[in-house]
Amino acid sequence: MAAVGLVLAGAAGGAAVTRSDDVLPPATTGTTQVALEPVGGADVRAELTLTPASWGTRLDWSCSYPAGVWEDGATYELVLVDDDGTRSVVATWSSTEAGSSSGLGASSAVPVDGIARLELGVVGVDGALAAADV
């Protein structure tokens, strides 16, 4: 009987050893939502999610633009302006369907807190169609 008690005690002790008290709950993502609003008369909008990462920032977004303003197949760009005023094109994409694009993504070495502004425009055309300060 003493041996059975010892085995049961050992099993219970083993369970205590394998139980992980140091597992942390899932961390919150700390994402930042940014809405790019039309600039001038452009009716272009975008909704972005900025996700901090150890290497910088992950950007995910969708955008909408009116039909007929730019020809189908126009190349759009997302421009990141950092705290020093340095401008970087972080993504380009083409739209063949008038109206919207979704599921777009990019990354930057600039951390979220180092991003001052985001702009959406057309490659080769001066000025933003939509923008927001971050």
Token pair for 104:
């777009």
Widest Cα–Cα separation across the chain: 87
Q: Is 12 helix (H, G, I), strand (E, B) or coil?
A: helix
Identify the pLDDT of residue 95.
79
Summarize the confidence of residues 27-45 as an average pLDDT: 87
What residues pair up with 37 in beta bridges, in sequence order?
131
Identify the pLDDT of residue 133.
98
Burial pattern 32-54, b for ≥16 Cβ within 10 A else e, equals eebebebbeebebbbebebbeee
Identify the pLDDT of residue 129.
94
Single pTM value for the model:
0.75
Identify the pLDDT of residue 13.
47
- The domain locations on the chain are 32-133
Summarize the confidence of residues 42-52 as an average pLDDT: 95
Identify the pLDDT of residue 9.
44
Identify the pLDDT of residue 114.
98
Residue 17 has pLDDT above 90, yes or no: no
Summarize the confidence of residues 25-33 as an average pLDDT: 69
Classify domain 32-133 by CATH number: 2.60.40
Q: In 10 A of CB 59, how many CB atoms?
A: 22
- Report the mean per-residue pLDDT for the chain: 82
Contact in structure between 32 and 49 (CB atoms under 8 Å)? yes
